[in-house]
Each structure stands twice: as C-alpha cells, then as structure tokens.
Structure 1
Amino acid sequence: MFEFVRKHTRIMQVLLFLLIVPSFVLFGLEGYNSYQERGAAVAKVDGREISQSDWDNAHRERVDRLRQQMPTLDAKLMDSPQARYATLEEMVRDRVLTAAAHKGRLIASDQRLARELHSNEVIASLRGPDGKLDMEAYKQLLGRQGMSPQMFEESVRQEIGQRQVLAGVAATGLSTPAQAGVSLDAFFQQREIQVGRFDPADYLSKVNPTPADLEAWYKEHARQFQLPEQAGIEYVVLDQQALMKDMPINEQDLRTYYEQNAPRLEERRASHILIAVPKGAPAEQKDKARAQAQQLLEQARKNPDSFAELARKNSQDPGSAANGGDLDFFARGAMTKPFEDAVFAFKKGQVSDLVETEFGFHIIKLTDIKGRSFEQMRPELEAEMRKQQAQRRFAESADSFSNAVYEAADGFKSVAERFKLEVKTATVQRTPAPGAAGVLASPRLLETVFAPESIEKKRNTEAVEIAPGTLASARIVQYSPARTRPLAEVQDEVRKRVVATRAAEMAKKDGQEKLAAWKADPAAARLSDKLVVSREDPARQPQQVVESALQADAGALPSFVGADLGEQGFAVVKVSRIVPRGEVPAAAAQQRQALYSRMWTSAEALAYYQLLKDRFKAQILVPQPAVESTESATR
C-alpha cells in the first residue's frame, strides 16, 4: 500500500484534490472554522445542539447579570462546576420552552411586546420629556451588549412565549384543604427525642499524624493551597452618574424646559363613579355593568351638580364613594392609563364618556387643575435635565472613550485629561473578590484584564460596559502568576486539617458502633435528656439530627437512628414518640395552606416541564459534577 502511494504520488494528489475540494464548496472554509471554534456539543434539544462555546458565553453573561443585580455576591459561588452546570440546565430549559412555544404557536403580539418594553426601567430612562424614545441612545445601549434593536426585541418576544408555556399550568394549580392538611401535618410534625453526640474534639488527642501522613495529605489536597494569580492594575471609568453631578444647568434652558413641560407636570383633581367588573367576568355580567354605568352617565350629564350624590349612592369604589367619588389631586403616572388619558384630555367641569379599565366602568368628572410653580418644580426639573444631558453626553462620549483608550494603548494619562477622569489603582484576581463592588466586581472587565494579550503586552483593555451607563478600561502594571504554597510554608495548617479530618472519622466510626450496640441493648444507651424537635423549632439541634428523627419509621417507635454530622462528627438519636401539635392560629394555617398551594403548583409545572423535555428529546451530554464537600467549598 505504502509502495503504491510512493510510486503514484501524482495520482494521489489528484485523488485528494477531488475528495477535499467538493467538501469546501459544499460547506465552506468558514464552516470548518466555525465548527472548530464552537467546540463539541454539550446538550441537544429538539435536534439542535448547544455547543461548548454557547455554554461558555451564556455562563459569562449570567455571571455578569448576577453581579450587576447583587454586587456583593461571592464570585467563587459562580465559578464552580456546579454553577456552570446550572447555567447549562437553564439553557436547556429555555430551548425546551422556546420549542414548546413555537409548536403551540404562542407568539407575543406587537401590542404585548410594546407593553413589555414600556415597563422596562432601563429603556424608560431613555425617554425624553415628550415620552418619545431616544432611538440613537437605545441603539447604542444595545450595541454595547452586542445586540441590535431587532435582536433584543426578538429575545423579549421569545421570553414572553416561554412564560406562556407554563402559565396555563401555574394558573390552574389546585390543592384541597384535606390534601394540604396531610402534607403539612407531616412536615410540621413534632417528635420527642434523646441524643448521643460524638464530637470530634473528644478524639483530637488520639490523632498523631506522621510527616509522611502530612505530605500525602498535602499532595492530595494541593489545590487548597494554591494562591491565585493576581494583577496590579490602573483603570479609568466613564460613568453617566458621575457626569450628572458636574452637569451645569443653564437658567434660561431650565425655564424653557418648565414652560414646555408645564402641562405634563400639572396635577388634576377628579371624581369618579365606578361600576366594578371582576376580572374574567362573563360577557353577560360585563354587559349588565355597562348598562348600569350608562344610565348613571346620563343622569350625571343632565345634572352635573348631582355627581357627588350619585357617586355616594352608586359608586363601587370603597375608597372614594363616601367622599362623593373625590380622588384628590394626582399627577400623571398615578392612575391606570385609560383613566389617566381621559382625565388629562378634557377641561375643568367636563364629564367623561364611559371609561373602561381593568377595574370596571368609570364615569369621571374633572373638578380642578393645579399647576406647580417654577420654584416648586426647580429641584425636580434640575434633576431631570441633568439626567437627560448626562445620558446624551454619555452616548456621545462612549465611542470617543473607546477609541481613546485603544489609541493610548500603554497608559491613561491622555484619556484622563481629555475626559476629566481619575486614574485609579487596585490589585485584582481573575474572579471578583468577596465584597467587591462597581468596576472591581465586573467579571467582564476582569476577563479582559487577564486575557493573554493583556498579560503579555500590558496594554489598555478595550472599553467594557460593566453596567448600563458605565464604561471602564484597565491595564496591568504588575502581574503575579498562580502558585502553590510549599508544604514547609503551610505545614501547621496541613496538620490541623489532617487531625480534624481523622478525629471526625473516629467520631463517626465510634458513633456507628454505638448505634448498633444500643439498638441491640437500649438500656445501655448514654443519651441526653428528652426534648421535642420539629422543623419549626429544632431545639438548637443540628438540621441533620432533626431530619433523621422525623424520617424514622413512625410505626416502629421507639427506635434508634444515626445522623452523620460531617466535620461535626456523628449523633445517635433515640426517637421516642410523636408529640401532638397544638392548635395552629387561623392566620398561620392560612399562610401554610397558601404556601402548600404554591409548592404544589410548582411541582405540577416541573412535572409538565419534564414531559416537555421528553417530547423535545432534551439531552445534556456532559456529566453532572459532584456536590463539593463543605471543606473544599469553603477554601
């Protein structure tokens, strides 16, 4: 075979050409590169793969999102294999629900999408005084997150569809009081117990490890003594909030702004008559309410001065009926939108047509209009103008800032002078330190700081959006790679851990032996005084003791059970009897019933989701990581 290849090289070249070129024509070079870059599949849903790179990107975004919501979150919790696996499970769930929404044609309408976007606080901050969205700022905000408006709106539409998939199950969850009573009685049950504790502290003197023992343990647990890499950095921050503080306000601009927005800032006083319609009421009931409201409207229009008396006798709004329907003064945004639109659309003394809201049918009379003076409004106007100008200046400066840090390359002096920023310094690790906040808590920025090029060349990183309205760039000035502390340096700590581990093992072994012996001869048991425990009141006992006691066979009491307390040793528990519960206050019983109903509904939704997973052949192709021990998780 090899001799044939050697003698017929030209033929083999042609043959390889014929085999390889068509594949490039069909799939393209980009396809090969893309396949390599995306990595192997880690999950499948409905025939579509989730790649390793998809997973990595999703976890990075999830960490960024959580850090923004909870700046004090310990980064180590999000850097674990368990946290990464949770992200993959979340991705699979999203894909399953998306597939179910698509198959069920659960598509959000344009109106539903508009309502969702309107309620978004970040997007709301980009609206001007006239209520219009600043599209340029909107595009820039999304662009810094790698999205176009179309991509973002499609993701919101998709999320609405996902919620609709489980909404039907969640809305129809039902648990009877009898059903809840059985489960709640079992969960809150009380039991009388006695405890025999085997504390590792009592065994410490019996442990005497040799140098070889210490070395072996150190080698097995060397990762626990690894010092992480760290870097001394310089960084600058372009912050919209900081821009607001120093934003000058022109007096004439402020007065002009007040004059243009005075109608929007005024308060109005109105009275109303409500004919209530329960949510989800049948059409017949709704028509009856509308007819009643129409009759009252005709009476109010014939005699406007009788409006207060009509409201007192007929309005079904308990908060205002006694006051003749009076709602006092209110500004825009205080009432539901159809109601507000009507009040702010007509003149003083005018009575509206029927106004339908989610509460029913309203008849509204505008009784007064109160404007607020310029001086009264000055603090609010200044704050609003500063916010708008800061948003505008930030949007204008963002690209310039990004270009400036790139062009400066090896320092921030020129950037700081140009944008009037302070160059700050810090020492950071690859993951945010516990308690870190702001820039130093941004995984996205730290990722760019510890990128190979940044470490090697110590250049300014790209400008990174660490939060809405905040860009930052950093550069390494000093770098220390990760290293493992030598045994000589940590020998005392290693010895303490070896002794503690072996003492806990001895306590557990002794406890298990005593458990077997006391089961055979209950009279020989050395136990504490009797006490009553429950999940509500554990009587200062460890959770493992309480759970072991409550899981003991109720039909075989008294009995002995063991409770493994991990590093705290072992406990032998004698469960004597079930203690009757006292009468539960009505309010507490009602709360528990509601809690059980929510848990039952959640269980039904989870069961339905499991069915969807089977229907769409959802598979996770990587093994689930083992739960870390308490010791390793706290290092």
Structure 2
Amino acid sequence: MLDFLRKQAQSTLIQAVVIIIAVVFVFWGGSSSLRGHRTSLASINGEEISPQEFQRAYEQAIDGLQQQFGGKLPPGFAEQLGIKQQVLYRLIQAELLRQGGDQVGITISDLPVQERVAEMNVFQENGTFNLQKYKDVLSQNRMTPVSFEKGLKSDLRTERVRELIGSFAAVSDNEATRWLAYNGEEIKLAYVKLDPASFEAQVKTDETNTKELAAWFEKNKDRYRSEPKIRLKYLLFKQSDDEKQVQIADADLKAKYEQDKERYRQPEERHARHILLQVKKDAPAASRAEKKKLAEEVLAQAKANNADFAALAKQYSDDASNKEQGGDLGFFSAGRMVPAFDAAVFAMQVGEISGPVETEFGYHLIKLEEVKPETVRSFEQVKASIAVELQQQQVKSLTFKRAAAAYEEIMRAGSLDKYSQQGKGQVAVADYFSRKELPAELPKDPKLAEAVFSLKKGELSNIIELGDSCAVLFADDLKEPELPKLEAVQDKVTADWKKEKAAELAAKAAADLLAASREKKALQSANGAAVLTTEFLKRSATGKDAPPSPVLEEAFKLAWKEKLPTKPVQAENAWFVYEVKERKAGAGKIEEQARQQLLASAQHNLLSAWLGSLQSQAKIRINEDLLK
C-alpha cells in the first residue's frame, strides 16, 4: 500500500488553476444490488450502513439546505439535486476511509476525542467545558455522549487518514516552475459574440413554415408533456389547536424534575495543568527510559520553591494543543481522561504536583489547580425548561391521539367520504395540483409532498406526522401526464422553435465568420456584431471585459504560432469567434502561497487515487429499494 502511495505521489504536472479540496467519487457503477435484503441500505466489504444511519445523515443534509433557503425548500428540490444519492456516496466514502485507516494502522484514543469535545464552544460556559451543558445539548439533538463521541472519533480518524495520505504528496521545484509558466501565461484577444437573440427577427412564422413547425413539435412534443396532478382530500390536525388544552401543574414539573434529576447533576470537576513528555508506542526501551529520566528532572524543577509550572510546560511539554497555554487542561470531570491520568488527578490535593504518570501517550507531570464540588441545579433553575419540554410532549401526543381517533373512525365508516357524511370531521379538498404547485393551505413540508405523490388513486394514507401537525390523506383522483395538441401550446412551441432556428442561424454565421477570418488570416467584423479587444488576460480571468471561460480555455490551448481556432466556441447560449493578438509567457519566482496550493492539489489527487484503489478492490452493495 505504501509503495502504491509513493508512486501516486509523483505527478507529472499539477493543474492548480482552481484547487478543490473535496473528494468527488462515484461509487454507483459496478455495485451489485441488495434488492430484497431489507436490513441495510448498503454494505462495504461486509460493513453495513443501516437505514437509520442514512436517515440521520439525510436529515442533517436537508436541515443544512433548509437553513440556506430560509427554512423552506422548493418542492422537488432535494430530488433534483439527488441529495439521497449524495448522502449515500458520502457515507460509503467515509466507510472506505475508515477501512483504509485500519489497513495503514491508524487508531484514535479517547484523549484527543475528549480534548476536541472540551474545545467546542457549544459545550462551554464562560470559556470552560460544562458537562451538564454537554449532556443537555446532545439530548436536545437526540444523541448520547457515547454515540456523539463515537462519531467524533470516526471524524478524527478520517482527518488522520487524510493527513497521512497527504504526507506522501510532494511538489518539486521543476514542477512548481512549470506550473508558474502555465498559470502565469497571458494573452490578449479580439473576439466577436454572435447572440442567437439577434437573429430571431430573421425567423419568419407564417403559412410557409406551418408544416415545418408541426414537424418540429411532433419531434419535441415530450418537452410539453404535463406533470402528474392529484386531487386530494385530507384531514389536518394542528398542534396549535391543542395548546390551550394542556396545562402543566407544578406537581408534574416537580415529578419530572425528580425523575430526571441526574440530568441536572453537575459532577465534581477538577482544573489541572500537565506537561507531556511524549513517547511513541513502539519506542525502544532506551528511548523510553531517557524520556522518563527527563520527566523526573522536570518534576524536580516543578517542585522547587516558587517554580512556575506553566512556564515549564511551555518549555518542555510535547502536547501542542495546550503547550502555549502552559499545559492548561481546563475543568473536567471523572472519566474524561485516560484511566491512569484520571486516577492520578482525582487522588490529588489542590496545589499538588504529581508524576511521572505513564499513559499510552508518554509521561505526564500534573498540577491540580482547583476543584469544583459536585452540584445539582435546583428545581427553580430548570423549571421553565421542563415546562416547555412537557408542554411540547403533551401537545404533540394530544394532536396525534386526535388524528389516531379520527383514523379509527374512518376505518369504521369504511371511507373518508362516509366519515365526513357522519359529521365527525371537516374534510378539506385540494383541487388538482402538481408537485411543483402545492396549494397554499397545505403545510410546506417535504415529507407531506412525498406522501401525497406516493399515493395511488383511491388510496388512504397512514397518519403523516409533520413538524407541527398530523395529516390523513386520500387520493381522490389522479391525472396522468398528458401530451397536449399543438393548438393548446401554439405560442410556447412557436417561441421555442424560433429560438432554435435563431441558434442555428447564429452557429452558421459564426462558422462563416471564422472561415472568412482564416482566409484573411485575421479576425473579420460581422454584420451588426462588434469586434471586442481585451487587455492581457490570465487563464482564470473574469469580469465584464473578459470573454466566457470556455473561450479563454480554448484560446490558451492554441499553439503559440496559431492565431485563429479551427471552430467557433459555444458558451453562455451564444457563439464566439476569436483571434489571439498577443501572448506573454509566465515567469517569475514561485510564491509560498502558490506552492501550498500546488501541494494541496497534489494531496487531493493522491487521496482521490487512493480512494479509487480502495473502491476498485471493495465489495460494495446497495439496496436500491430502500433508497427510493
């Protein structure tokens, strides 16, 4: 594996015009199906991705998109982007990275996980990690410390894998010089833009081309096929209608507090500093003994009169994460550190210095700075949050019970219509609508749209739980997609046909202009189209004076002796003919920032190659039924 990495690291030319540090990897091809195997969504070398794991990742992706769109997504937007497929690709990629990390021997201990948790601002109060806040935040997000830290450990291992694979990448001086010449090259262009819109006036729509228009419509009529539509009958049960019925008594709040009292317990916390003399696990005995001797010498200095432990940590500690803070570990509770370290700290007195304490990381010298005794937040402190929690739970439960009772009545009545006729509920009707045109009275929830358009004609849904309501749906009628007659869409068809014919005229005009320019060995002017001349431009140039990037790309591909291309360039719904007026070779001294960009690109390419190797050897199976 390492020989493979070394070979892959020696690239011939790194194209770093735009550096993208994201591994884009398609796993779909070549994967066999798990159709009919209902217990997992995918399997990678026998390691399964469960539907629950996929659902959590999918919901996180949807939440992120909703935040970008102000809390709402356009109907069908997630499907158009293929979010489900993207989420699955990421999960498969993460599992391949994890398995690859196992192959190269990367493991993560509990200590870096604990340190990462302690550094997160969301779990801190007044700049210090707070265990109770940690538990509360995770609880609010339906997670436990065990599951959260397991995921965090996986993320840290992925980081280590990326760092390890990236460490094999290198950029030689010759490669950097070649990139400088490539990226620093400049050209000055003259070009003509032939916009189809300017040719539309030449396209006549009269009796002479009626047959041509009809033939064009017949060839392209699927473009005008209507979307499927549904006429929906439904019952909507809103939580807001039940809020006034729920009153939480103080006795209930007190009982809930007593029941969950452990949630409000803040265990004893200790504030310590340490000096780490790091020893690798596979270090020889002589090296280990040398480090221990150094630890004992530093310990003697630390215990000397008026010794500054923080200053000694800055001088000697190998723990880069807190060395500059004088080895400060902040406050932490029992069980947060590795066992030997944890046992030592919680057996010390304030001001005491202990060590050397041996752990898997090496030898630690520890100073206990402060102790916070165990506390329990009082009922009055948490009463308001308990009230909100119980209110939400009971209102949601009450709303669901109303929906469930109505559903049972519908079953007894035999249909939603008979249920309505008995006067037991107000059934609403939404006339024919498509997925893209949801009625305003329906909740704008992706789950609702998904449920509506999964129904068959005459089918009653289960109870659909939405964010703040429940719904029961009935597909009263369906309209399948229809192909319209030409007369029904005449105006739109005529407009589309004119645009296509104008585009053909623009393409012909561009070809004729290029032929004339090549004959004259210089760019000629076109009827009604101005010849624009740029300043010197680099490959990545943008702005109102620069032509579209595809034009620049083609211009830079021309041999230095060539001035004119062999064919026009199509970009931004127009055609371009250009001439290279002048060129400047790239030169100069490679800057450190550019070198780092090159290195980042090399690391990205190497990681992609490594993942490609893992994927080609992996057995990846996907349950396509569960992905629908």
TM range (shorter): 0.5 to 0.7
From 573, 578, 595, the equivalent of 2:578 is 573
Letter of the 2:408 counterpart: E
Q: Which residue of 2 aligns with 1:407?
A: 408
Letter of the 2:193 counterpart: R
| CA apart distance, 1:496 | 1.8
Q: Which residue of 1 aligns with 2:606?
A: 604
Letter of the 2:296 counterpart: Q
| CA apart distance, 1:384 | 5.9
Letter of the 1:534 counterpart: K
Q: Which residue of 1 aligns with 2:127?
A: none
| CA apart distance, 1:254 | 9.2
> Per-residue CA shift, 1:264-305, capped at 9, x if unaligned?
2777655x35346499996676764544333333454565xx
In the TM superposition, what are the counterparts of 1:78-477 in structure 2 within 5 Å?
78-79=78-79, 83=82, 90=89, 97=96, 169-183=165-179, 185-187=181-183, 189-209=185-205, 210-225=209-224, 226-230=226-230, 232=232, 234-236=235-237, 264=266, 270=272, 272-275=273-276, 277=278, 288-301=290-303, 306-307=306-307, 309-313=308-312, 315-316=314-315, 325=326, 332=332, 337=337, 346-354=348-356, 361-367=364-370, 369=372, 381=382, 385=386, 406-407=407-408, 409=410, 440-442=444-446, 444-453=447-456, 455-457=457-459, 459-463=460-464, 472-476=470-474
| CA apart distance, 1:390 | 7.5
Secondary structure of 1:544 counterpart:
helix
| CA apart distance, 1:204 | 1.1
Letter of the 1:297 counterpart: L
Rate the CA distance shift 1:543–1:98 in 2: closer, same or farther, 3 A.
closer
> Per-residue CA shift, 1:491-515, capped at 9, x if unaligned?
2222222111211121111102211
| CA apart distance, 1:246 | 8.7
Q: How many angstroms apart in 2 are the aligned matches of 1:177 and 1:423?
A: 75
| CA apart distance, 1:570 | 0.6
Q: Which residue of 1 aligns with 2:557?
A: 551
Q: How many angstroms apart in 1 are the aligned matches of 2:264 and 2:102?
A: 50
Q: Is the 8 A contact 2:400 2:470 kept in 1?
A: no
From 542, 564, 575, the equivalent of 1:538 is 542
Q: How many angstroms apart in 1 are the aligned matches of 2:533 and 2:94?
A: 55
Rate the CA distance shift 1:207–1:513 in 2: closer, same or farther, 3 A.
same
| CA apart distance, 1:607 | 2.9
Q: Is the 8 A contact 1:264 1:332 kept in 2?
A: no
Q: Is the 8 A contact 1:548 1:561 kept in 2?
A: no
Q: How many angstroms apart in 1 are the aligned matches of 2:186 and 2:564?
A: 15
Secondary structure of 1:578 counterpart:
strand
Secondary structure of 2:532 counterpart:
coil
1:69 lines up with 2:64 in the alignment: yes
Letter of the 1:448 counterpart: A
> Per-residue CA shift, 1:298-343, capped at 9, x if unaligned?
454565xx34x243355347998899x4959x55599984588876
Secondary structure of 2:542 counterpart:
coil
Rate the CA distance shift 1:445–1:583 in 2: closer, same or farther, 3 A.
farther
Secondary structure of 2:191 counterpart:
strand
Note the aligned Cα RMSD (angstroms).
6.4
Q: Is the 8 A contact 2:192 2:576 kept in 1?
A: yes
Secondary structure of 2:541 counterpart:
coil
Q: How many angstroms apart in 1 are the aligned matches of 2:287 and 2:402?
A: 61
Q: Which residue of 2 aligns with 1:145?
A: none
In the TM superposition, what are the counterparts of 1:34-53 in structure 2 within 5 Å?
44-45=30-31, 49-51=33-35
Q: Is the 8 A contact 1:266 1:371 kept in 2?
A: yes
1:481 lines up with 2:486 in the alignment: no
Q: TM-score, with normalisation over the residues of structure 2?
A: 0.61
> Per-residue CA shift, 1:207-229, capped at 9, x if unaligned?
11333343333343334332442
Q: Is the 8 A contact 1:511 1:571 kept in 2?
A: yes
Q: Is the 8 A contact 1:137 1:395 kept in 2?
A: no
Secondary structure of 2:458 counterpart:
helix
Q: Which residue of 2 aligns with 1:8?
A: none
Q: How many angstroms apart in 2 are the aligned matches of 1:218 and 1:345?
A: 85
Q: Is the 8 A contact 2:266 2:377 kept in 1?
A: no
Letter of the 1:205 counterpart: A
Letter of the 2:455 counterpart: P
Q: Which residue of 2 aligns with 1:501?
A: 500
Q: How many angstroms apart in 1 are the aligned matches of 2:203 and 2:354?
A: 87
Q: TM-score, with normalisation over the residues of structure 1?
A: 0.60
| CA apart distance, 1:89 | 9.4
Secondary structure of 2:179 counterpart:
helix
Q: Is the 8 A contact 2:213 2:497 kept in 1?
A: yes
| CA apart distance, 1:450 | 2.4
Which structure has the higher relative contact order (CA within 8 Å, separation 6+)? 2
What is the aligned residue count? Answer: 530
Letter of the 1:538 counterpart: T
Rate the CA distance shift 1:295–1:94 in 2: closer, same or farther, 3 A.
closer
Q: How many angstroms apart in 2 are the aligned matches of 1:161 and 1:313?
A: 31
Q: How many angstroms apart in 1 are the aligned matches of 2:360 and 2:279?
A: 11
| CA apart distance, 1:358 | 6.9
| CA apart distance, 1:528 | 1.9
Higher helix share: 1
Q: How many angstroms apart in 2 are the aligned matches of 1:451 and 1:389?
A: 34
> Per-residue CA shift, 1:462-488, capped at 9, x if unaligned?
445x78xx8854424765525445543
Q: How many angstroms apart in 2 are the aligned matches of 1:523 and 1:182?
A: 31
Q: Is the 8 A contact 2:268 2:334 kept in 1?
A: no
Unaligned runs of 5+ in 1: 1-41, 143-148, 415-421, 623-635
Secondary structure of 2:189 counterpart:
strand
Q: Is the 8 A contact 2:189 2:534 kept in 1?
A: yes
From 593, 596, 621, the equivalent of 1:594 is 596
Q: Is the 8 A contact 2:58 2:84 kept in 1?
A: no
| CA apart distance, 1:87 | 6.1
Unaligned runs of 5+ in 2: 1-27, 43-50, 124-130, 420-425, 526-530
| CA apart distance, 1:195 | 0.7
